[in-house]
Amino acid sequence: MTFQATEAYAKELDQRDPLASFREEFYIQPGTIYMDGNSLGLCSKRAEAAVLELLESWKRYGIDGWTEGKYPWFYLSEELGAKMAPLIGAKPEEVIATGSTTVNIHQLVSTFYRPEGRKTKIMADELNFPTDIYALKSQLRLHGYDPDTHLIRIKSRDGRTIDESDIIQAMDEDVALILLPTVLYRSGQLLDIERLTKEAHQRGIIIGFDACHSIGSVPHRFSEWGVDFAVWCTYKYLNSGPGSVAGLYVNEKHFGTTPGLAGWFGSRKDKQFDMDHEMEHADTAGAYQMGTPHVLSVAPLIGSLEIFREAGMDRIREKSLAITRYLMQLIESELRGFGFAIGNPMEDHRRGGHVCLEHEEAARICKALKEQRVIPDFRAPNVIRLAPVALYTSYQEVWEMVQRLKMIMTEQTYKKFKNERGVVA
């Protein structure tokens, strides 16, 4: 179909959408257009049902809920890890549902960062999400190194993206470990994970990825590519709720590597309750768990992953690319002359699941959008992130959102707001 900036065209796209029926799975507020699923995904009816199921098991079984009921808690992290594995192209035993993104970064960096001789530095990038940088600086300090000299942050050439060749060029013999995002959180750039992993390994460097902004939106093949480790949250595209339990991946070639941070839930299941002070680690990614799993916080993931299994990552990626491309076409057609710039890569193979719309008045434009019942996402200093999520956003909503934004700019209603972010942006 040839692009048209009409509502009729948007409706036609919705009629042809093979994932359209999944929209009914989610709680969508009437009259509200939700474009912030890359920050917090919407609640699904199955996620709600899973929470209620685990509450019921607590009410019914008490302590026996660890081994009884529909979803015994003792094995839940491993089972959900196995269900997440297809989303990143990993083997079931390489994934575990546990911790939070930051906790899991600390766990895996403390495990795989082993400075020796000249290999003492950690590489990241200057556009990375702050928590990753905070954690890496902490790990360097714990080893007695100054982050100012031992944390390499690859510079961006344009303030939006990172050139993979710059990363590769900086892979010197003093680099011990690399941690990069799969998708940059502001611009939505998708890095070439396979290429970067290959280049790192040729130089004897351990490499891991933060997949918070790609899992559930972009399919990966971590095991095939030989990625050493990865972390991610589950509350964005995976729709598992605010603060829900995160996930981590460790390539099976590293099984048996002693976790940097040990806790009893990293034990072999059959040995955990021996209560021995000499720990026998699990021989899977489960070894990198620490404390007791947050059962009620992981519960929504049960229902959410059922939806992903039915929808399939290939179909999700196909629609994500199509609907973000459609949004960009509308922006170029309808918002020309209003001072907007598209800050994300235009090519499909370099783009994640959201559109990065830049404007010098971004903060106040976001406030005006919310007044018009459009939920966007602001990122300092000038980014409006818009995420039409494949499972629940319709093309007609995207069309309507752009019309509301066009009205805001035409009538300049954004000028009544201050151009500064709220406490939570």
**Model's pTM, two decimal places?**
0.97
> Which regions of the chain carry the CATH code 3.40.640.10?
49-310
Q: Hey, what are 266's tokens?
A: 């990293």
The verdict on whether residue 131 carries a ligand-binding annotation is yes
pLDDT band, residue 208 (cuts 50/70/90): very high
User: Is 340 assigned to a binding site?
Assistant: no
Give the model's pLDDT for residue 313: 98
| Sign of the C-alpha dihedral computed for residues 217, 235, 303 and 250 taken in this order | positive
210 is in an annotated binding site: yes
In sequence order, what are the residues at sequence separation of 6 or more whose Cβ sits closer than 8 angstroms to the Cβ of residue 118? Answer: 173, 174
Q: Does domain 49-310 have CATH number 3.40.640.10?
A: yes
Could you tell me where in the chain the CATH 3.90.1150.10 domains are found? 7-30+312-414
67 among the known binding-site residues? no
- DSSP classification of residue 412: T
- Is there a binding annotation on residue 192? no
Annotation-wise, does 276 bind a ligand?
no
pLDDT digits (tens, 9 = 90+) for 370-413: 999 999 999 999 999 999 999 999 999 999 999 999 999 999 99
Contacts of 89 (CB under 8 A, 6+ apart): 219, 220, 221, 222, 223, 224, 225
Q: Could you tell me the CA-to-CA distances from 365 to 53, 194, 237, 359, 375 in Å, in that order?
A: 41, 37, 24, 9, 11
238: alpha, beta or left? (left if phi > 0; alpha if psi -120 to 50): alpha
Task: Tell me if 197 is assigned to a ligand binding site.
Answer: no
Q: Is it the case that residue 162 has pLDDT exceeding 90?
A: yes
Express each pLDDT in 39-69 by its tens digit: 999 999 999 999 999 999 999 999 999 999 9
Residue 33 has a pLDDT of 98
**18 is annotated as contributing to ligand binding:** no
For residue 320, what pLDDT is reported? 98
CATH fold label, 7-30+312-414: Aspartate Aminotransferase, domain 1 (3.90.1150)
Mean pLDDT of the residues in the chain: 97
pLDDT higher than threshold 80 for residue 368: yes
Is 235 annotated as belonging to a binding site? yes
pLDDT tens for 270-317 read: 999 999 999 999 999 999 999 999 999 999 999 999 999 999 999 999
